[in-house]
Amino acid sequence: MASESIKIGIVGAGAMGAGIAQVAATAGHLVNVFDTSKEALAIARKSLKKLLSRLVEKKRLTDSESGHIFDRIVWVSTLKDLAGSNLVIEAIIENLEIKKKVFSELESLVNKDCILASNTSSLSIAAISSACSNKSRVMGIHFFNPAPLMPLVEIIPAIGTDNKLVDPIVELMKKWGKTPVRVKDTPGFIVNRIARPFYGEALRIYEEGWEGIEEGVVGFATIDWAMREIAGFKMGPFELMDYIGNDVNFAVTESVFTAFFYDPRYRPSITQKRYSESGWLGRKSLRGYYDYSENADQSNPVKDEKMGIKIVNRILSMLINEAVDAVYLRIASIDDIELAMTQGVNYPKGLLAWGKELGYDKVLEQINYLHRIYNEDRYRPSPLLVKWAKES
């Protein structure tokens, strides 16, 4: 089927919805973007026009290409306008009841062959599909922000999804220039599950004055420096949380923690909760773990290599253990897990390859060390990590 004949519906004109619409329109589709707020639609339309103009200025698009992309998107204020869609992607607030209401209404409007998808980052696809009488055509299609730039898309069939519909969506995402990975319908999917220790363990190190290190030395800047300069991550955990937004990051952590029946491995941080409650959300509020106001003094990292290596080993071992456990629990294939972490969150290496490089026996040794100190289930090793450590 030609791109031009596949009509795309988008529910939500926020950053994600508008970004997905841009991707679909760039691929040649006619796109209807719905939002209950006419103001949100106007803002999204204006922002897209400005963005496309910048791409023309940078010679990434011609005037003609920019005009065609813009003209393929129609901004609509009634859900009925999505009735002729072949694929509808919902990209609204992470609230299960609101999503279920939207899917129930959509099902009554679209034709029987239309695929209904959610862009949720952490909610159960099965729970969303429960609002529909025909669950077979409901799945997750999770883009990463900003959608036009981030290559990864997680494709999530629920237990009731017709598997025959998955391959065509995978192929469609490839035509959109994306890198699709298949993942089981579990909390956080691949990226938001495996990445939890990047934030959570960094917060834990900050909160506890780890291993008797002088109070205040292991600050945000020091942890970020270690993860950037020693481990090779593009951004440290606190820089990244400030970029994402503490409110958003905390909400995802809380959602994953709750969905996993309060597994201590995913326990949220009181520090992040307090920052979120205080409105210190990061860059968007000009204050988070760092002060982004004009002429603000920034704290400098303590560049102690020995301490930095300790920080890296602790966070990295937790990340690798999480990735290995995802393989053990058949959340996704090894290849898809590696793709997800390198292309979804730009990790310098795939975590499974990294674990092999370091030696799974060394990773297990670090996890067991933490478990002995804290005696918490948070630091339990994956059974597969134990197996691979014996074989390494």
Residue where the block lists tokens 């290496």? 349
The whole-angstrom separation of Cα 282 and Cα 290 is 7
Nearest alpha carbon to residue 47 among 24, 72, 13 = 13
Q: Which of 142, 239, 276, 321 is catalytic?
A: 142
Helix/strand/coil for 285? helix
Q: Is 192 among the residues known to form the active site?
A: yes
- Going from the C-alpha of 167 to that of each of 112, 293, 331, the distances in angstroms are 18, 47, 18
The pair of three-digit structure tokens given for residue 266, joined into one six-digit string: 């995913």
Q: Within 10 A of 151 (CB to CB), how many other CB atoms are there?
A: 16
Q: Is 382 among the residues known to form the active site?
A: no
Helix/strand/coil for 174? helix
Task: Provide the CA 80 distance to its chain's centre, in angstroms.
Answer: 30
Angle at 279 between CA 274 and CA 280, to 5 degrees: 75
The whole-angstrom separation of Cα 178 and Cα 171 is 9
The whole-angstrom separation of Cα 267 and Cα 257 is 6
Q: Is 142 among the residues known to form the active site?
A: yes
Nearest alpha carbon to residue 79 among 112, 102, 111 = 102
Q: Which of 121, 122, 249, 313 is catalytic?
A: 121
Q: Which of 119, 192, 246, 249 is catalytic?
A: 192
Q: Which of 154, 201, 239, 338 is catalytic?
A: 154
Q: Where are the alpha helices (DSSP H) in the chain?
A: 15-26, 38-57, 63-71, 96-109, 125-129, 166-175, 191-194, 196-208, 220-225, 237-244, 246-259, 270-277, 305-328, 334-339, 351-358, 360-374, 383-391
Omega of the bond leading into 348 within 30 degrees of 0 (cis): no
Instruction: Provide the annotated active-site residues.
Output: 121, 142, 154, 192
